[in-house]
Amino acid sequence: MEISNPKNYTLITSTEKSFEVFHAAFIRQDLHTVSNHKIVQLSENLNTTIPNLLLFLNVANEHKNNGMSFVIICNGIDIDEISDEINIVPTILEAEDILEMEAIERDLGF
């Protein structure tokens, strides 16, 4: 797992060979706690499934309830099959756009 702070958020990039190992490391390092905006970039090598992504639903809700954004970058998932409560996009640019849009929504009181 690689962790960086490129702008006003923390970027967490998976380098593990399985989703289970990545998720365990994510929890073990307390990255699920709300401290700032987070973008999680999942490697295509993880073969991520919808049930895997739903493990982040509580994290996403916790961030939203605390005025922070949480976005997952994952390719190959039909986002229509995922709850609207979790932000899943295919690229880093779209993830950054989500952060900006949610900041505007918070500023407007939504």
Domain that holds residue 17: 2-108
CATH number at residue 53: 3.30.750.24
Count up the domains in the chain and report the number. Answer: 1
pLDDT digits (tens, 9 = 90+) for 52-89: 999 999 999 999 999 999 999 998 888 888 888 899 99
pTM score, whole prediction: 0.92
Percent pLDDT > 90 in the chain is 75
pLDDT digits (tens, 9 = 90+) for 23-33: 999 999 988 78
DSSP result, 68-108? --EEEE-SS--GGGS-TTSEEESSHHHHHHHHHHHHHHHHH
Cα(37)–Cα(39) distance, integer angstroms: 7
Residue with tokens 């952060």: 99
